[in-house]
Every structure is written in C-alpha cells, then in structure tokens.
Structure 1
C-alpha cells in the first residue's frame, strides 16, 4: 500500500504481485492509491512472476523480500528499533528484556537485532513464525550448523503479512536469539483477545506476536525475572473484515475458535499456554 502511494506521488505505474488469498480490503486499498493488483495462486511463484512482469512491462522489480534488511540504516534514528527504545525511555524497565516480532520479509527482525547489538543492550529478540512458514525450519538448520536456504513449502501463510513459503534473503538468523512456532488458531484467538481489550481491531500478525509475549511472560515469571517485553501492533484489523472477522471464514477452514479462545484466555489469566515448539535460547 505504501509503495502504491509513493508511486502515485512520483507519477509511476505500480503493480503489486500478491497471493490470490490476499484480503479484498488490502486489494481495495492498493487500488485506491492507483496501484494494480496482479494475483497469483502459488505464493512461491511471486518472485518469478514479478520478474516476468517487470521484463514485459519495461519496469523494475523492487524485490522487497531481498532488500528489506538493508533498506533502513539500523545504526541511526528513524528506524523501528530506535523508536522503541525512545518510547520506552521513561518506563520502569526502559531496556526491554525481550522484543517480539514476526518475520515477513525479515527486515524488522534484522533491524532490531542489529540495533540492540550496535547499542550493546542486553535485549533479546524472539521471532514468532506462523504455522505455515519456512523461517522456523530454516532457523533449525542454521542452529545445526548446516543452513539450508533451499527449503520451501507448497503453500503460503494464512496469517497475512508474515510467514513465507521460501527462505527470504532478508531474514538473518544471527539477529534473533530464539524462534517460536505459533499455530494459526492461537494467533487468531490472540488477535481477537487483543482487539477486545483495545477496543479496536488488529490483524492476525499482532495475534502471533501476542502469543510470543505470553510465552515469554510465563518464562520470566517462572524464573523470577522482572523486566519489560515489547512487541509490535502490526496492521489494522479493519482490512480483514471479509476473513478473520467473519465466522464463516473459520468454518470453511475447519478452525476451532472456541478451544483457541479458551486457551488464550487461560494463559492471560495465569494458566499455561499449549506447548509450542521453540528453538534457541
């Protein structure tokens, strides 16, 4: 959407190549800013299709999944990491014990991890991966000493904005201390819980992040640790009125919302989360 906005300011035609499963509200927002949406059935074919269109139209493939980790100067101001620490400066625990994020391009986790190392903070980065995504499995191969960038999945993530069917170059495993695999039913239950608490709709990726926060809070409490946990409220849930906020969407996909809602509510009340697969420290 932001690319479509700036392309219009520059007087340039813009084509967004996206999975066919993208929410109609996101498609409408891109078209509102003058962009054209080119939908593909196979999420793994997005890069090849983008390159093909660029050749045929005499355009340029921006390839944000390859270049996201270098698009921002993580050492300077005006990046998400610097903003987090500035906003936390007056809090009781201004240096977070953990920052939780989820990988889409991988650029956010790279920026956060590089920034805390550059500033020599003790903050650790937890990257939470949705159910259908290859990043978690790639991280496992990285920890084993035999990183496999050829890993792929046959389908894309149901949590829009995060998760990928292939290993993206912008995901830098050394920038995160740990990864957590989050089932989609829990991500979406957490999304609904956060939306109810805030009085505003949030997206599925925010729910994935919140599951990571709950897992860390329980870990820190069990260890008798105090400190702050920071996560990111991602896109607005209003973009998912035709999917995540429609009961029929869950029924069509066989997702049990009742059990997942109960699990999140129990965890918030101090109970244990369902066992989640975790890698790293």
Structure 2
C-alpha cells in the first residue's frame, strides 16, 4: 500500500464519560434555573443630589457570595473542556468564598473537592468549606498554595481549577445572565437605566473583566472602576502599567487584593482604579449597616467607599445619574474581624476618622 493511501484511525470517544458530563452540566444548569437572581438594592442618598446608588447584593446566592457565579462558570468550563471527570477530585487554591462555592458545586455533581490553604486560615472558614462537603489541605507557607494545589492534582489525577488564571475566560461575557447583563436588566425601569459607573473589586479580576467586556460588546458608555485595598498589587500595576508588581504583605480585606497581578486581571479594560484605605472600608460597611440594616464584608466596603467618591464627584460637578457597586458577601462571616473592636485594634485600624468623613460627605463635603 502506498504511503498516500494509508490512514490512521484513533478513537478516544468515551460514551460513559460523555453521558456523565451531560448529567453534570444539566445539574448545574438546573441549579441556576431554580435560583432567583440577586437583588439590586438602592442605597439612600439625599434626594436633592439627583443621583442614585445601587448595590448588587450577591450575598443572596445559595453559597452566600459573589463567588457563586464564578464557581458555576468554572465548573461548566472545566466540564466542557474535558478537565473534570467522574470520581476525580477538583482542587483549588483558596481559603475563602471561592472554595465554599466550589465545594458546593463539586458536591452537586458528585466529585470530591479539596481546598488548599494556609494553616492560619480561621476555623470558621474551614467549617464553611467542610459544611459544603469539601476537604481542606493546610500548608505552612501561604505562598506555596498554588504549587501544592497543582501537585495534588497531578498526584490524584484530579483537576486544579486555578481560579486566578481562568476566572476571566470561564464566564460568558456576552450575556447568559452574567452579572453585567443582570444589572442592566434590573436597571431598565429606573430613572437612570445606564449607570455612569460600575464599581467592582478584584480578587481574581474575573468580575471586572466580565463587566468591561459586556459593556464594550453592548456599546455602553458606562465606565468600569476597580477599588483596591491596601497591600494589593493591582492598583500600582494599573497605575504604572507594570504587571510585574509584587507586594511584600497580603491584603487584610478577605477576597480581594493580591500580592501579584493575577492572570485574570485585565489592566486594559479597567477605566479607573481607586486605592481605598482598609479603615475606610470598615467605616463604609458600618455606615451601610446603619442606613440599610445590611451587614456586609469589607470587600463591599472597599467598593462602596470608591462609589461614594464617584457620587461626590458627580454631585460637585452638578451632574445626575446612577452608580452601581457590589455587595460581595454577608458581614456575618466577619463578626470576629471587621466588626470586632479587638481585631481592629490588633491590626492598627481606626475607622473613626473615615466615619467622620462620611458624615461630612453627606453634609455636602467630598471624600478626598
């Protein structure tokens, strides 16, 4: 037989695996179908300002945080890419809300879940992950969690989810009820249906990337602002155009701020960044509880402080419009932290001066 007539047929089709993936994907879709959309909560501002401020309350997801959306997208992405397989564990480097949400979806489709985290992680966080059926693998050096997660995946034949790499590409930014599409749908009957700004915070960068891409895809004029806590690499990297920035210590605001610029944080799509002092974030959530009765984590406070700054700029310029920020998770997870006078004192954080600035802000001053 001549070489030109030779053929090679390699068949790797696995009907059983394909059927399992179909059931798993359908189960995740069904979970989304029976879950109501999260609320868009109006934050009271003086009526004469002519400005509306909203918080997208992501704490109402079944796992209690914004990361529920990310975990759902990451599982669908991993399943459809052939990375997640029946019986093999899913592994993530996370001690926070992402691990809680991923443990939930792992149990939903019937695969083991392992969260790799520092030994210093609070028992409260470990308990939340274990409650959802996950297992926690503790390491002494927090900087090693990425490498340990990858090694565990190789040793067990599992899949390292790697939220920090895949967050921005796993979510369908064109629509499919992503957070940006949901915000605009809920604003449709408001007096300012197209906000001047949407304010996000960044842990992976996936949320800001999704929002920015959706805005560009749908031709919106809305700006994307990312609020960043102390000790985070994102703000100086964006300011200086240097993605190689590293910080010496990590963020005190759980869920946001990183010591390195994660692959999912897309600097080019962010229109503005605001560096927010941690004490200001704590003052913002105390004020939020006072005016709405809602307790939120300090990642919400970081974004809310930046949103108030933008509101003040609009007001001082004599402009009207709306601003949207995110309520990332409930403050009930942080009673012994951001709501604890002892913890604040140990960290050297004094929110009182920023609380006073908020009072002056609502009397007409700026937040600068």
Q: Using structure 1 for the length normalisation, give the TM-score.
A: 0.90
Deviation at 1:21, TM superposition (A): 5.1
Give the one of 190, 196, 210 matched to 2:304: 210
Give the secondary structure class of the aligned counterpart of 1:228: strand
Please identify, of 79-88 and 29-38, the stretch whose mean Cα deviation from structure 2 is larger: 29-38
1:181-217 superposed Cα distances (whole Å, 9 cap, x missing partner):
0010001110111122221211001100111111101
Distance in 2 between residues matched to 1:16 and 1:154, nearest whole Å: 24
- The equivalent of 2:357 in structure 1 is 263
Residues 1:197 and 2:291 are matched in the alignment:
yes
Q: Secondary structure at the match of 1:154?
A: coil
CA distance in 1, matches of 2:124, 2:335: 8
- Aligned ranges for residues 1-281 of structure 1 at < 5 Å? 1-20=100-119, 22-40=121-139, 42-142=141-241, 148-273=242-367, 275=368
Preserved contact between residue 4 and residue 34 of structure 1 (Cα < 8 Å): yes
Q: What SS class does the counterpart of residue 232 from structure 1 fall into? A: strand
How many residues matched? 269
Distance in 2 separating the partners of 1:184 and 1:53: 34
When residues 58 and 179 of structure 1 are mapped into structure 2, their CA distance, relative to the original with a 3 A threshold, is same
Cα displacement (A) at 1:20: 4.7
- Asked if structure 2 preserves the Cα contact closer than 8 Å seen for 1:42 and 1:155, the reply is no
C-alpha separation between the residues in 2 aligned to 1:20 and 1:157?
17
Cα distance between partner residues in 2 of 1:123 and 1:198: 26
Whichever of the two has the greater Rg, that structure is 2
Q: Distance in 1 between matches of 2:324 and 2:186?
A: 11
- 8 Å contact kept, 2:231–2:248: no
The secondary structure found in structure 2 opposite 1:26 is: helix
Gaps of 5+ in 1: 143-147, 276-281
Which residue of structure 1 aligns with residue 82 of structure 2?
A: none
Question: Does the 8 Å contact 1:23/1:239 carry over to 2?
Answer: no
Q: What is the CA deviation profile of residues 54-92 of structure 1, one whole-angstrom value per residue up to 9, with x for unaligned ones?
A: 223332210011000011111123100000000000000
Q: Does structure 1 retain, via aligned residues, the 8 Å contact 2:163–2:204? A: yes
Cα pair distance change 1:74/1:248, threshold 3 Å:
same
Comparing 196-205 with 156-165, which one deviates more in the overlay? 196-205
Gaps of 5+ in 2: 1-99
Quote the offset at 1:38 in angstroms: 2.8
Per-residue CA deviations over 1:211-232 (Å, capped at 9, x if unaligned) read 1111101111122211100111
**What secondary structure does 1:38 align onto?**
strand
Q: CA deviation at 1:23?
A: 4.6
Provide the secondary structure at the position in 1 that maps to 2:327. Answer: coil
1:42 shift after superposition: 4.5
Contact 1:25 1:240 in 2 (8 A): no
Aligned to 1:51, what secondary structure does the other structure show? Answer: helix
Shift in alpha-carbon separation, 1:40–1:157, aligned structure 2, 3 A:
farther
